[in-house]
Amino acid sequence: MTTLLLDTHAYVWAVTAPQLLSDRAAKAIADTANTLLVSAASAWEMAIKYRAGKWPEAEVLLEQHDNVLERLGAHTQPISAADAIRAGGLTWTHSDPFDRMLAAQALLHSATLVTRDRAFADINGVLLLW
For the segment 8-56, what is each residue's pLDDT rounded down to a tens digit?
999 999 999 999 999 999 999 999 999 999 999 999 999 999 999 998 8
Sequence-separated contacts (24+) of 84-93 with Cβ below 8 Å: 90/123, 92/122, 92/123, 93/122
When pLDDT is averaged across residues 73-87 and rounded to a whole number, the result is 97
Q: Which pLDDT does position 104 carry in this prediction?
A: 98
Q: What ranges do the domains of the chain cover?
A: 3-129
Q: Which pLDDT does position 1 carry in this prediction?
A: 87
Residue 22 contacts by C-beta under 8 Å, 6 or more apart in sequence? 116, 130
Which is nearest to 9 in space by CA: 97, 71, 102? 102
Contact 111, 125 (CB under 8 A): no
Residue 69 contacts by C-beta under 8 Å, 6 or more apart in sequence? 38, 75, 76
- Whether the model clears a pTM of 0.85, i.e. scores above it, the answer is yes
The CATH class that applies to domain 3-129 reads: alpha beta
pLDDT digits (tens, 9 = 90+) for 92-125: 988 899 999 999 999 999 999 999 999 999 998 9
Strand ranges (E), the chain: 3-6, 35-39, 74-77, 112-114, 128-129
Which DSSP letter does residue 78 get?
P
